[in-house]
Chain A
Amino acid sequence: MEKTALYNFHKNLGAKFVRFAGYEMPIQYKEGIVKEHIITRESAGFFDVSHMGQLFVSGNDSSEKSLEKIIPLDFKEIKMNQSKYSFLINDKGGVIDDLIITRVEGGFNIILNAACKDNDIKEIAKCLKSESKYELRKDLSLIALQGPKSETILESIVKGVKLLKFMNGSYFEFQGKKIYITRSGYTGEDGFEISVPNVNVVNLTKLLSDKGAKPIGLGARDTLRLEAGLCLYGHELNEDINPVQANLKWAISKRRRKEGGFKGWEKIKNDLQNGVSKIRVGIKPSGRIIAREGTKIFSSSGDEIGIVTSGTFGPSVNAPVAMGYIQSKFSEINNKILLEVRGKRHDAVVTKLPFYKKSYVK
């Protein structure tokens, strides 16, 4: 079982741990998931996401062309220090992983899901020419600071971060080290993701704590991202689901949607032109019934039409929330559907995503 550089820090704070993607990670601290969720929405919380892969790929025309075969972005469009959300695509157009890629000096930083990173690197290595170098930065930790007070807190520790725009990054100095910070996150809040050497990460998190940010576990990270309508790999995304079905075609660059030239293009082209038979939607159950992953979805006339991929209680919307895949003809907003929970069918409606409105700094 792997541990991040902050393991003892979490332990001293009374974290409850859970095994996740081969790592022992804090699922919650003493405050509990609901309180941690609210703290992030109303103030600021920091998350240890060092289990995620931080891959550096050296950049030149050759490596950009190679990466374009498995990542459906227009690499020429990615400006220096700009971040983009996209995917690694397989031959069927399915999603091998979802990722954030940022152009930096000399190449790209790619943030990969913990459970997928080893396989991702194999896939990326396969398509790169031998002159392109890549390295998984195990020497770096990754801290997400999220919530409306993030800017004030981080600015008091690292001067200049307040000038960053959403989905943009830059190098900064912290305790004599060059660190890379992007204005991004996965909670629906304004915030930053800070890539910092393992040897400095405890000092950074102590400073964040001193300035009023609270530690937040993976439990609240999940309720936050679900309220924000964001996909979680292994739930809304997998190798059998393509980005069009996931309602994420915006994450395929415009030129690539026209020209293709990446793996699985035939399938994706077909779905772009002819529409998809099933699609990801937001679902709001009536009352307080929680529809967990795997809950069957039925039409009002009783036909099985889909399945829930994530479901929980959303502390900020103060109601249950879910996402799932349903047959496209039933996917209209406000369409009435039924969810089968513990043998009984309960009313629900297809809902616009996100459940909770984002407040990113543009």
Chain B
Amino acid sequence: MSEKKFSKKHEWIMLDGETATVGISKHATEMLGDIVFVELPEKGKGLEKEEKAAVVESTKAASDVYTPVSGEIIETNQPIVDDPSNVNKDPENNGWFFKIKIKNKSELDTLMNQADYEKFVKDNPN
């Protein structure tokens, strides 16, 4: 598995062969608060980088989740739909959103590594 990368929209992505797993960062969950609703993309759906892929809602508001890379959705994480608090519990592991068959691995180069992301969050507190 490759290293975990992050987008400016607070998604994380981790590549394993041709497939990448995508979720939202721990920081994002802290900003959102208690997540009470998750809507995931349909399997087989093709998405372009930075296209809307999923929706999360906290008690306060709804937010879109974007895919950090282009590709085809091959799997989604039903347990976070059945119990959305699973996202808050473990956002960067068991709280993953979807797996995407990646079209162009070079898109990963435009994303941040853990250290850069932490700096980005610090510089952009909102």
Contacts and interface: CB of A to CB of B under 8 A. Distances in A.
A and B bound? yes
Interface of A: 27-28, 32-35, 37, 219, 223, 288-290, 292, 312-313, 315, 320, 342
Contacts of B33: 28, 32-33, 219
B62 A290 contact: yes
Contact of A290 (B34, B37, B85): B37
A289 B37 contact: yes
A288 B36 contact: yes
Interface of B: 33-34, 36-37, 39, 55, 57-62, 81, 84-85
A310 to B, nearest CB: 12
B62 A313 contact: no
A158 B33 CA distance: 35
Given A290-B62, A292-B62, A342 B37 contact: no
A34 B59 contact: yes
Given A290-B36, A292-B62, A320-B36, 9 more contacts: A27-B60, A33-B33, A33-B60, A34-B34, A288-B36, A290-B57, A315-B36, A315-B59, A342-B39
B64 to A, nearest CB: 9
Contacts of A288: 36-37, 81, 84
Task: Identify the 7 closest CB pairs spanning chains A and B, nearest first.
Answer: A313-B36, A34-B34, A33-B59, A32-B34, A288-B37, A290-B57, A290-B37
Contacts of A292: 61-62
A320 B55 contact: no
Nearest to A35: B34
A27 B34 CA distance: 13
B81 to A, nearest CB: 8
B125 to A, nearest CB: 12
B59 A223 contact: yes
A289 B84 CA distance: 12
Contacts of A315: 36, 59
22 contacts: A32-B33, A32-B34, A33-B33, A33-B34, A33-B59, A33-B60, A34-B59, A34-B85, A288-B36, A288-B37, A288-B81, A290-B36, A312-B36, A312-B59, A313-B36, A313-B37, A313-B59, A315-B36, A320-B36, A320-B37, A342-B39, A342-B55
